[in-house]
């Protein structure tokens, strides 16, 4: 069952989704023109997550991990 958000919550969710898609497309474009090797960015995110697991909020780490996983798919 979909969650109901306040108008502010919907705006934040839409902004987050658009940002995620934009970053994913940027990574794909960089890979296509040879500026970024395949899986280079997800691997960098993985290393960052390992290093930052005590310094960043759980929510931030979860979002970055979701981005990493979406780039691996």
pLDDT one-digit tens code per residue, 37-64: 999 999 999 999 999 888 888 888 898 9
Do the beta carbons of residue 27 and residue 71 sit within 8 Å? yes
Helix, strand or coil for residue 10? helix
Q: Where are the alpha helices (DSSP H) in 1-73?
A: 7-32, 40-52, 58-72
CA 31 to chain centre: 16
pLDDT, position 60: 87
Please give the model's pTM, rounded to 2 decimal places: 0.72
Tokens of 72: 């691996």
Percent of the chain with pLDDT over 90: 47
pLDDT, position 40: 94
Tokens of 67: 């981005």
Q: With 80 as the cut, is the pLDDT of residue 2 above it?
A: no
pLDDT, position 30: 95
**Burial zone of 41 (CB within 10 Å; 0-12 exposed, 13-18 middle, 19+ buried):** buried
């Amino acid at each position: 069952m979909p969650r109901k958000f306040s108008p502010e919550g919907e705006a934040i969710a839409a902004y987050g989704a658009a940002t995620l898609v934009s970053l994913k497309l940027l990574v794909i474009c960089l890979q296509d023109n040879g500026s970024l090797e395949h899986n280079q960015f997800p691997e960098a995110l993985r290393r960052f997550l390992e290093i930052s697991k005590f310094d960043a909020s759980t929510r931030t780490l979860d979002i970055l991990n979701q981005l990493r996983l979406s780039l691996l798919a």
